[in-house]
Amino acid sequence: MKRYFLSFLLVLGSLGIYAQIPNGSVLIQNGTVLTITQGTRKNTDVLILEGKIAKIGTDLKAPKGVKVIDAEGLFVMPGIIDAHSHIAIDAVNEMTSPVTAEVWTGDALNPFHISIYRALAGGVTISHAMHGSANAIGGQNETIKHRYGVTDPELLRMKNATRTIKFALGENPTRVHGKYHNVPPKSRMGVEAVIRNAFEEALAYQKKWKEYKQQGGNGIAPEYNLRLQTLVDILNGEVMIHCHSYRADEILMLMQVCEDYGIKKICFQHVNEGFKIAPELAKFGAYASVFSDWWAYKFEVYYSTAYNAAILTNNGVTTSINSDSDELIRHLYHEAAKTQKYGELSDEQALAMITINPAKQLGIDQRVGSIEVGKDGDIAIFKNHPLSIYAIPQMTLVDGILHFDIHNDPDDMRVYVNPEEDIDTANFDDHGHDHKCLQGLELFLGEK
């Protein structure tokens, strides 16, 4: 029995605990490199070694065994980053309470979610897998690398990324909890009260633990509470708030709450009326992650403008454009281009909204978001300029590994199911359990 159990642990270790992040080496030659932070460089090479950008220059030589990609006539840019997404997760909202800071989308990642591949086909290498907007204080989010098809969900996580959590203002939490369950919040002022009460509970919890530690850990320790501990981490600046928001008055309200509790890290998501209070957002140091031109899909989103991103940017607010959609995520380069029609932003400003700016909002800008030596080898290669209506993604690399190739990938990356294939149902019981698999597992664990 011990021998079987030890073998089982070794298998688990090989699959998860000791799994290594896959990386590759490649030389991209002769492309027009859009570095984002250091200008545009024509006829330039980018050498990626073991997942990191090692050199940027001309006439670089590929070390022995390193693959070469000819990017002549193509545009090479950093992998696109989506600061608001729900791909790779199946359950989005934990609606059981107005405050669910204890849950975490990273607990249920699906590396085979086809939307990851489709995002790669749009040049997107990183996304922010967010909790939904049903709760005033929702769950923690997960920043993921689009390593599509890895066998271990752990490998989707972007290691050491800044922790983030989802808050929500307005109709969503008031409808879910107040209208349907008759519990707070039922009004916009109720949302503020829920958030303030949660922070007060967290402060009281923190005080109990502080007093216990000051006494040398003697006596009975306070009961551990993951929900309250997460809120304490927010108050201590260890977790950044990403808040679903539309109306200017509510955005101002939450900035006041943050100021009262000493919270400095916040990114407002959607922020459709951000253009009304752009100077106030800039003064606070808040980030804004917006749609390019979505609004009027419900009453509180009626008043908006396609100039929102440009107005925020011109007022000094670090602004990104997100998808909040497993379909629109493939077209974020087109969404960024709209800021040139509505606001006349420069190429650098527009591209920053889908690269370095969302990287800053996720606290990962030292690692990704621009093509610089030492950063991760996350690259998107385009035919035609990525802000052109004629732009077509050609290849997408994550950590130096080619995950999308328009010319060589199969037309259908999903598992093909043959409707005429015979399936042996004799081994399945009424609950859909495969007896052969169950017997094998029992033998493996030494149960028989």
- Please indicate, yes or no, if residue 49 is contained in any of the structural domains: yes
- The H-or-E segment that residue 3 falls in is helix 2-12
Give the span between the Cα atoms of 139 and 133, in whole angstroms. Answer: 9
d(CA 157, CA 135): 24
Name which of 284, 283, 332 is nearest 309 in CA terms. Answer: 332
pLDDT of residue 424: 58
Residue 327 confidence (pLDDT): 94
Same domain, 191 and 228: yes
Residue 17 lies in a domain: yes
CA gap 306, 27 in Å, rounded:
39
Is 418 part of any domain?
no
Q: What is the DSSP letter of 192?
A: H
CATH code of the domain containing 446: 2.30.40.10
Residue 109 in domain: yes
Q: Which two tokens stand for residue 183?
A: 């519990």
Domain count, the chain: 2
* CATH number assigned to the domain comprising residue 111: 3.20.20.140
318: Cβ contacts below 8 Å, ≥ 6 apart: 287, 288, 357, 360, 361
Model confidence pLDDT, tens digit, residues 299-345: 999 999 999 999 999 999 999 999 999 999 999 999 999 999 999 99
Q: 3-class DSSP state for residue 328?
A: helix
Cβ–Cβ under 8 Å, residues 271 and 301: no
Instruction: Looking at the structure, tell me whether residues 194 and 299 fall in a common domain.
Output: yes
At 350-361, the pLDDT tens digits run: 999 999 999 999
At 415 the pLDDT is 52
Does residue 293 form part of some domain? yes
- CA–CA separation, 244 vs 254, rounded Å? 11
Q: What is the pLDDT of residues 175-234, one digit of tens each?
A: 999 999 999 999 999 999 999 999 999 999 999 999 999 988 888 999 999 999 999 999
Angle at which helix 188-214 crosses helix 248-260, to 10 degrees, equals 20
Residue 96 and residue 29: Cα distance in Å, rounded? 53
* Residue span of the structural domain in which 39 resides: 1-79+369-412+425-448
Per the DSSP assignment, residues forming a β-bridge with 137 are: 99, 167
Tokens describing residue 314:
């011109």
**Does residue 203 sit in the same domain as residue 103?**
yes
Residue 420 lies in a domain: no
**396 and 282 share one domain:** no
Mean pLDDT, range 392-406, rounded to an integer: 97
Q: Is residue 205 part of a domain?
A: yes
Residue 419 lies in a domain: no
Model confidence over 261-300: pLDDT tens digits? 999 999 999 999 999 999 999 999 999 999 999 999 999 9
- For residues 167 and 101, the answer to whether their CB atoms sit within 8 Å is no
pLDDT at 136 over 60: yes
311 and 387 share a domain?
no
**Structure confidence at residue 423 as a pLDDT band (50, 70, 90):** low
